[in-house]
Amino acid sequence: MLNFEILKTDGLARRGRLKGTHGETETPCFMPVGTLGAVKGVTWDKVEEMGYSLVLSNVYHLYLRPGLEVLKEAGGIHRFTGWKKLILTDSGGFQVFSLGKLMEIKEEGIAFKSHIDGSKHFFTPEFVVKFEEEAGVDIGMVLDECTPYPATYEYAKHSMERTVRWALRSLEARTTDATALFAIVQGGIYEDLRLRCVEELSRLPFDGYAIGGLSVGEPKDEMYRITRLVAPQLPHDKPRYLMGVGKPEDILEAVEAGIDMFDCVIPTRNARNGTLYTSTGRINIKSAKYKKDFSPPDPECDCFTCRNYSKAYLRHLYVSGEVNAVILNTIHNLHFYGKLMERIRKSIEEGRFAQFKEEFLKNYAETE
């Protein structure tokens, strides 16, 4: 059973608390991505130490490896992975969509070939709900059709309508409220389609609502426009989730529009590529200019990495191919994101979110 409480508002920005079967999380929140039941580069104790209590995994990947039977025999996804707090699973719709020629969308569901071995599989809305319930996740996303960018109006319309039909089928397949179900709003960049999708999904008794089909290649101002349009129209008393977003500046824009939940591979993936997030923007730790820079990556950061290591040492680890480079970079980036969300929540509590956003962006540079 999922419970969501709004504790404070500041404009459209919301400060809340979400409680599920395996604990609670403060919102707005960022979910580290643990696609296969693990956050790359860090162990669960480090994730928890950084203040995270909700992580994201993925039905598509877990279905292929290790498979539902293994998860069930282990006693569920929490016992299998060792993560004792909240888990949200994406339905795998976006991952299947990204397979391109390896997949075919039908009214019944999505036929696809595994990216691992080319074997054939078929996802239906009903199967995704079954997987999420039997795996024991706290929040399950329904199967949707992720509208690509660009897409014609007619394509986006048919995609949105199918997403609504699949959402209804997902609800009908539900057998327990221990796994909360979130619907996903589609409709591309077309305002009338987005609003119609919101209207139809809001009539259905979902536990939360997500905005999908953004951060798929559209210009940033289009993402902001659709987010500002859709978020305030979603049910006020349910959590709102912007899928696959994002960068710090994107999170701030979306919080201002009323979004409560975020996920993205950016902090962990970029850590593995040598990019660190700091209070003054991103830095490329691979750069030769850091060879003799013995200052911490971010003097304002109190993470384990910044307290103990210099840019010069982190660069040395990275260019030497040391696995510790990935670990220390990931710790820093996830800590940065966690602290950003903490500061966002505090600013909403104090009624100064707009001021915080302005000050943060004034100091923060998108690129080095």
Q: Maximum distance among all alpha carbons in the chain? A: 61
Q: CA 115 to CA 92: how far, in whole Å?
A: 13
pLDDT at 366 over 80: no
Look up the pTM and report it.
Answer: 0.97
Q: Which fold has domain 3-264?
A: TIM Barrel (3.20.20)
Mean pLDDT of 244-270: 97
Q: 90 an active-site residue?
A: yes
In the block, residue with structure tokens 């962006």: 361
DSSP symbol at 83: -
pLDDT band at 101 (very low <50, low <70, confident <90, very high): confident
pLDDT score for 1: 84
Ranges of each domain in the chain: 3-264, 271-363
> Cα–Cα distance between 236 and 202 in angstroms, integer?
10
- Position 137 confidence tier, pLDDT thresholds 50, 70, 90: very high
Tell me whether residue 263 is one of the annotated catalytic residues.
yes
What is the per-residue pLDDT across 76-88, written as a single tens digit (0 to 9) for each?
999 999 999 999 9
Q: Determine phi and psi for 154, rounding to 5 degrees.
A: -65, -40
Q: By percentage, how much of the chain surpasses pLDDT 90?
A: 95
Band of residue 102 on the pLDDT scale cut at 50, 70, 90: confident
What are the counts of helices (DSSP H) followed by strands (DSSP E) for the chain?
A: 15, 16
Please, which residues have CB within 8 angstroms of residue 228's CB and are 6 or more apart in sequence?
257
Q: What does the pLDDT read at residue 107?
A: 97
- Supply the pLDDT for residue 367: 63
Q: Are 64 and 35 in contact (CB under 8 A)?
A: no
- Checking if the pLDDT of 355 tops 80, the result is yes
Among the ranges given (84-88, 112-116, 164-168, 236-240), the one the predictor scored with the smallest mean pLDDT? 112-116
pLDDT reported for residue 46: 98
The mean predicted confidence, pLDDT, of the chain is 96
| Cβ count near 346 (within 10 Å) | 13
Q: How do beta strands 240-242 and 261-263 pair?
A: parallel
Instruction: End-to-end CA distance of the chain: give it in Å, rounded.
Output: 44
Options 10, 138, 260, 263, the catalytic residue:
263
Q: Is the distance from CB of 76 to CB of 136 less than 8 angstroms?
A: yes
Percentage of the chain with pLDDT > 70?
99
Nearest Cα neighbor of 301 from 330, 332, 342 is 332
State the CB neighbour count (10 A cutoff) for residue 219: 10
Asked if residue 265 has pLDDT above 90, the reply is: yes
- Which is the catalytic residue, given 90, 138, 207, 298? 90
- Cα–Cα distance for residue pair 267/317, rounded to 1 Å: 18
Of 263, 261, 295, 319, the closest CA to residue 20 belongs to 261
Per residue in 141-194, pLDDT tens? 999 999 999 999 999 999 999 999 999 999 999 999 999 999 999 999 999 999
Tokens at 342, concatenated: 């903490």
Smallest Cα–Cα separation from 330: which of 285, 293, 279, 290?
A: 285
DSSP string spanning 236-259?
A: TTS-EEETT---HHHHHHHHHHT-
Q: Scanning the structure block, which residue is given the tokens 């790359």?
A: 40
Q: Which candidate, 25, 27, 82, 90, places its Cα nearest to that of 59?
A: 90
